[in-house]
Amino acid sequence: MRVLVTGASGFVGTALLGRLSATGRCAMRACARRALRALPAGVEPVLVGDLGPHTDWRAALAGVDTVVHLSGRVHIMRDATADPLAEYRRANVAGTVSLARQMASAGGRRLVFLSSVKVNGEVGICREADRPAPHGAYAVSKHEAELGLGEVAGETGLDVVIIRSPLVYGPGVKANFRALMHALARGIPLPLGAVDNRRSLVALANLVDFIVTCIEHPAAANETFLVSDGEDLSTPDLIRRLARAMGRPARLVPVPESLLWAGATLLGKRDVAKRLLGSLQVDISKARQTLGWTPPVTVEDGLRQAVAAP
């Protein structure tokens, strides 16, 4: 088996290449927009430039039967482009569908696409059978990419596996999770002690393990799966466990949620508040039952791995 990983220099791509290299069960090709460094032994690098409708994938796809498509325009909190949805569609929709069509023409067998739980929506308990409710340009583009891949699969016979992931944490994590780690390291009091919510996360090691399962498992073909650690946490519980992994105190102050929402609204930070105060749970029953998959890494181990990285 020869596997192509797009977005190979990213957070998930780097970990996936390491895992696939360690198994030794497949030949690998890594694809990115710019030069790739420190690749595992035996991984062939290929540069393709920016992801879009006119990207030429021929060199990358030659002899490949499986593609793990991680590349894309990521979620940007403050997008300064004139038309964010158009930019997301160019990369995440047109670029992804073009890759799938070129892959089918080249004789590829299976494409594993990393999507987002944001396709389901921003609140509640998410299941694969739910009506999609994407909110925002990024989520809309991921949903439209899923629909486009479904059309390609129906027209060409290409196997497509869609994975919808919640927030991923692990070695090298950035953005809000890294900011939370910095706050705990500095001993900053956090006004989140009274928050009563439930959120699903996924450790990087668990996501990578699930991707590998979807590469290999015959029952994954043309299915959509949600993935998580299998344990939902409240924001205060996450902070306490993360602090424990860091060997730091969790300085939680019990401020009423109504005041936190009001303050976030005044500051224009309701999206940030939604992630800290709202609930978003992922039901992974389908992954367990269809693929026999169980998250191999506990939340505690996942957090320890995240804080141990420089």
Residues serving a catalytic function are: 138
Residue 209: other Cβ atoms inside 10 A: 19
Contact indicator for 166, 201 with CB cutoff of 8 Å: yes
- In order of 104, 151, 169, 190, 284, the CA distances from 155 in angstroms are 10, 6, 36, 52, 29
Six token digits for residue 120: 């389901």
Six token digits for residue 224: 């959509």
Report the distance separating Cα 175 and Cα 81, nearest Å.
Answer: 20
Distance of CA 254 to the CA centre of its chain: 31
Which residue reads 């994954």 in tokens? Answer: 220
Sign of the dihedral defined by the CA atoms of residues 221, 223, 226, 231, in that order: negative
Contact indicator for 177, 239 with CB cutoff of 8 Å: no
Rounded to 5 degrees, what are φ and ψ at 307? Answer: -80, -20
Contact indicator for 50, 33 with CB cutoff of 8 Å: yes
Six token digits for residue 23: 């198994």
Sign of the dihedral defined by the CA atoms of residues 58, 60, 66, 67, in that order: negative
DSSP code at position 199: B
Contact indicator for 128, 226 with CB cutoff of 8 Å: yes
Report the distance separating Cα 155 and Cα 74, nearest Å.
Answer: 28
